[in-house]
Structure 1
Amino acid sequence: MPITLTPFPAHPEYEGCEWTITDVDLLAKWIAWVAVGQSYHVSNILHLAGAAPLPTNADAVKEAVKLLTQAGKSPDHRDGWMFQIMSWLAAHKRTPNALIAAPHMIHAEKGLDGLEIILDANQKVTGTVIFEDKATINARSTVRDLVWPEFEDFESGAAVSRMSQAAAGILAASKHPNPSQAVSAIVWKSSKRYRLSITTKKNTLASRNSLFKGYSSSVKGAVERRRGEIFPIKDLRPWMATLADLAIAHAKKISIT
C-alpha cells in the first residue's frame, strides 16, 4: 500500500489521521489502473488477490490519459480526481472490511465524492460514511465555505435518494443477498457519518484545530461521526503534476489487446 495512515491524538471535535505517501511510483501505477477502468482489480489487490494490471485496449488508455491531463488553465479537476483515488485507497486501508463505492470516472462528478457502507454480522447496514475529498491550496476557506454547508445539507435530509441508489449499487456489487431490502432498512438520519479528506500545508495540533473548527456544529453527536483525513503537502500543484505524469507513463505501459 503506497499510503500510510497515522492517527491523530484524541480530540472532541474530530478524529482521523495523516496520510504519508511511502511509494509515489506505486501510487501512480494504481491511479493509472483505476483510470483505465480497473478499480475493481485494484481493490482485489488491496485484499491480497493479484499484483498485475489486466490487459486493456487503446481506447481505455486514451481515456485514462485524458483523465490524467490538465484541462484548460487550471489543474483543479485533474488533481481533485486523483485525490479522490488517494482517498479511496486510504479508506480501503483503514476499513478493509467495509464496502466502498468505486471511484468516479469523470472529473467533475457532482454529488457524493464517495460512500462507505458498514455492515454487521447479519449483513444489516449499521453505518453509512459520506466522503468529501478536497485537493486545495485554500484548506480552511474550502472547509468553512463549501464542506460544512454541504454536510449540513446532508444532515437536513438532502440527497437521500442519491445515497440510496449508491448504497444499493455497492451492496449489489458485493453480492449482498438482498440489496434492496438492506437499503430500505437504512435509517439514514441515525446511520450517517462523515469523512473529510483534504490537502493542507502543515499538520500540527493548532493547524488541525483551526482547519476542523466548526465540525461539531455542522455534524452534531458522537465524535465517531466526524472523521478528518489530512494529506500535508507544501507544493500541491507541482506534486500532483508529477504524479499525473507518472500515472500517464504507467497507463501507456499496460498491455494492449
Structure 2
Amino acid sequence: MPITFSQASSPECEFSEWKIINRNRAKLVEIVAYLYLRQEENAQRIIEALEPKMRASKGKVAENVVRKLTAPRTRDIEQLQSGTDEQKKAAKNRIETSIIHRDGLLFQHISWIAARLALPNCYMNSPHVRQADKGFDGFIIELSGSMQEVKRIVLCEDKASIAPRNLITSSVWTEIAEIRNGMRDDEILADLVTLLKTIPNIDVEQAVDAVFWENSREFRVAVATSVNQKKNGSYLHIIAGFEATAGGELETRTAGVMGFEDVRKGLGLLADEVAAKVKEIAGV
C-alpha cells in the first residue's frame, strides 16, 4: 500500500496518522495521476496491483490537469519580481491562493485513495474536478448485505493547511453543525442519489426512502499539515471537539492526519511528480 495508517486511541473519534511509504511513492503518484485524468478504473487497477488499460486522453484534459497541478503561475512570479507595488501585492495574493487551491485539490485525491484502501467495499464519488469546489469533499456509502439498503453515509472533509486547528474550528466544525441541523439535507440527498444510480441492480428510490437519516450519517475529517503542528508527539489536538460537534457513537467519527516536513513544499513536490506522470501517461 502506498499509504499506511497508524491508529491512535482517542475519545474524539477513530483516529489515525497517515504516512506515504517512500518505496511505494511512485505507485501513489501513478494512482493520483489517473484520478486527475478522470480514469478512476485505472486508478483502481493500480490499487489492486493490476495493469492499467491504455486510454487516450480526451481533448485538453491532460493540459488542464497539469495547469491545476502547477502553482504559482509564471506570470505571477514575474509580476512579483518586477511589477509596481500594487501589482506585486496582487501577484503575492494570487500566488498564495493558487498554492492553497493546488494543495487542497491534490490532498482530496490522496484522501480518496486513503478511503479506498480503508473501505474497499464501499462506494465513493470521484474526487473534485474544480479547485475550491463547494460541497462535500468526499461522499461514501456502504450498502447492507442484501445490496438494497443504505447501511451508512460518510461525509468527508479534507483540508491541507499550515494552521489546521484554526481551519477545523472555524470551518469544518461549522459545516458539520449545519449538517446535523439539517441545513444541507438537500445536498446530501443529491449526492446519495447520484452515487446510488451508479450501482447496478438497486432500487434507488426504495434505498433512499429506507434510509434512517440520522443513524446512517457519519463524518470523516482528513488533514494534511506540517510536522511542526504536533503537540506532545501527536496531532490529536487538531481534531479536539469532534465528539461535541458531530455527536453519535465513536465509530461514526473518523479522522486522519498526514504530516509532511513542510506541507506546502511536500505537496508541491508531489504535485510536480503527478504532473510529470500525467504528461507521460497522456503523451504530451
Q: State the TM-score, normalizing by the size of structure 2.
A: 0.83
- What stretches of structure 1 move > 6 A for 4+ residues in a row? none
Residue 82 of structure 2 is matched in structure 1 by none
Alignment partners' CA distance in 2, 1:59 and 1:232: 33
- 1:67 lines up with 2:68 in the alignment: yes
Q: Note the alpha carbon deviations across 1:193-234, whole angstroms, 9 max, x for none.
A: 100000233456764342121111101121112111110112
- 1:7 lines up with 2:34 in the alignment: no
Partners of 2:3 and 2:20 within 8 A in 1? yes
Equivalent AA in structure 1 for residue 152 of structure 2: G
Alignment partners' CA distance in 1, 2:139 and 2:196: 11
Which has the larger share of helix? 2
Alignment partners' CA distance in 2, 1:210 and 1:253: 41
Post-superposition shift, 1:49?
4.7
- Of 100, 103, 111, the match for 2:127: 103
Most deviating of 133-142 and 202-211: 202-211
Alignment partners' CA distance in 2, 1:205 and 1:125: 40
Partners of 1:40 and 1:102 within 8 A in 2? no
Residue 15 of structure 2 is matched in structure 1 by 16
Partners of 1:130 and 1:195 within 8 A in 2? yes
Residue 158 of structure 1 is matched in structure 2 by 183
What are structure 2's unaligned runs of at least 5 residues? 73-93
**In the TM superposition, what are the counterparts of 1:182-201 in structure 2 within 5 Å?**
182-201=207-226
Post-superposition shift, 1:115?
0.7
Q: Kindly name which structure, 1 or 2, has the bigger radius of gyration based on alpha carbons.
A: 2
Question: Could you say if the C-alpha distance between residues 104 and 176 of structure 1 is closer, same or farther in structure 2, counting changes exceeding 3 Å?
Answer: farther
What are structure 1's unaligned runs of at least 5 residues? none
Q: Note the alpha carbon deviations across 1:83-117, whole angstroms, 9 max, x for none.
A: 00000000000010011111111111101000110
Alignment partners' CA distance in 2, 1:175 and 1:45: 23
Partners of 1:157 and 1:189 within 8 A in 2? no
Q: How many residues align?
A: 256
Q: State the TM-score, normalizing by the size of structure 1.
A: 0.92
Alignment partners' CA distance in 2, 1:42 and 1:179: 27
Partners of 2:224 and 2:259 within 8 A in 1? yes
Most deviating of 245-254 and 56-65: 56-65
- 1:93 lines up with 2:120 in the alignment: no
Residue 267 of structure 2 is matched in structure 1 by 240
Percent identity between matched residues is: 28
Equivalent AA in structure 1 for residue 154 of structure 2: V
Question: Could you say if the C-alpha distance between residues 40 and 161 of structure 1 is closer, same or farther in structure 2, counting changes exceeding 3 Å?
Answer: farther
